[in-house]
Amino acid sequence: MNILIVDDEPMIRKGLHKMTESYPPGIGWIELAENGEQAMNQITARAPDLILTDIRMPKKDGLELCKWVYETHPFIHMVVISGYADFEYAQRCIQYGVSEYLLKPVDRTDIHRALDKVRGNKDKGMISLVKTEDWIGEITEKIWHVKLDEIAPSLEQWREYCLSNKMTPEMLKAALMECLGMLLKRLKERGYEPRNQQVSMLAHRTAEDLLTSFEEEINRVVQEILIRRGKNMKDPMEEAKRYIDEHLFKEITLEEVAEMVGLTPNYFSVIFKKTMNESFVQYRTNRRMLHAKKLLAIPHYRIIDVAMEVGYGDYPHFTKTFRKVTGYSPTEYRAMLGIK
């Protein structure tokens, strides 16, 4: 756990530093700031996991700092240490997501108890800020250089990481919104301005749906960059259909096609079904049976050869599937065409 201590009194800063660094489970790094304004600059440069802050400080006070952190870095935990037993202060701190409100003077036990509480909440489901910033840096480079073959695997890794943290949907939504904000900010620094940002994830309630919507936002950005650079951008769904149609004889998988068009499997599955009004498996099966009907209309083709041509090494399985889709067995279908 990395900590930023914010207080305008040097001796108090020093004392909090000493009490914090003696925390038994261990601390990553500790930084100090004299006021809210300095703290904001330090957080922007390197975000901590936890902030210990006073309320009354020059320039920007602790309440302004807590409000700013709540709005811009919702992952960061906050503990307020104040000399004022003021209900209004405490109430406003709660509104800004502060974990603990401690009254001065505090001792080592008070600090360690607060750290225990934060650590317990953190373990229940939270994304590492360091990992988030590293991932944002990597995906920014891949998006800016339009490395389509690398974007999809990165999004899939991020999906798996987020799901493994078992966050509540609300926490995940806040995390993904911040990730998107960080990404767009970095792209803006390189000259990219989104035309019409639509944050559709706001309406979703499950983790899977939130992540799919997040991937949709990322892919929208990629497509916009491609268009602005005048590159020939192919419709991923059209590319997927073409690939399936050209490989009916093979047992291709959804994951294989998703990788080919540069999308994550989950996102590709959702978009494919939405576009085609049928699942990937249904589309592939129907295309195979349509091609099988064309081949069955050629008299010299043996039915077993037709099965092989459309990807069925198991003849009984082909016959069963053909009947399920068309309502007839291959032999009956040929008889209808007048072919013996």
- Number of structural domains in the chain: 3
Asked if residue 264 and residue 303 are part of one domain, the reply reads yes
- Closest C-alpha among 93, 77, 80 to residue 127: 77
Question: Do 97 and 175 belong to one domain?
Answer: no
Q: Does 167 share its domain with 228?
A: yes
**Closest among 112, 92, 82, 100 to 21, alpha carbons compared:** 112
| Paired tokens of 110 | 């008070």
Residues 100 and 162 in one domain: no
Residue of 236, 265, 256, 246 lying closest to 311 (CA atoms): 246
Q: For 89-110, how does the pLDDT look when each residue is reduced to its tens digit (9 = 90+)? A: 666 777 777 878 888 888 989 8
Give the span between the Cα atoms of 168 and 159, in whole angstroms.
14
Mean pLDDT, all residues of the chain: 83
| 119 and 143 together in one domain | no
pTM of the model: 0.44
Residues 41 and 116 in one domain: yes
Residues 52-79 have a mean pLDDT of 86
Q: Does residue 280 share a domain with residue 227? A: no
Query: pLDDT by residue (tens digit) across 231-258?
Result: 555 667 888 888 899 888 888 899 888 8
The residue out of 194, 210, 232 marking a domain boundary is 232
Average pLDDT on 297-321 reads 91
Is the same domain home to 326 and 247? yes
Where among 205, 232, 259 does a domain terminate?
A: 232
**Which DSSP letter does residue 338 get?**
T
The domain that holds 92 is classified in CATH as: 3.40.50.2300
Domain that holds residue 228: 129-232
Q: Which residue has the tokens 């999809």?
A: 152
Q: Among candidates 84, 81, 82, 79, which has minimal Cα distance to 99? A: 79
CATH number for the domain spanning 287: value is 1.10.10.60
- Both 276 and 178 in one domain: the answer is no
Which of 101, 123, 145 is the C-terminal boundary of a domain? Answer: 123
Residue identified by tokens 């906050």 is: 78
- C-alpha dihedral (102, 106, 110, 115), degrees to nearest 10: 70
User: What percent of the chain lies above the pLDDT cut of 90?
Assistant: 26
- 136 plus 117 within the same structural domain: no
Residues 110, 52 within the same domain:
yes
Q: For residue 211, what are the CA distances in angstroms to 174, 182, 197, 217, 250?
A: 12, 16, 17, 10, 31
Listing DSSP states for 75-143 in one string gives TSEEEEEES---HHHHHHHHHTT-SEEEESS--HHHHHHHHHHHHHHHHTS---HHHHHHHHHHHHHHH
Residue 108 sits in the same domain as residue 140: no
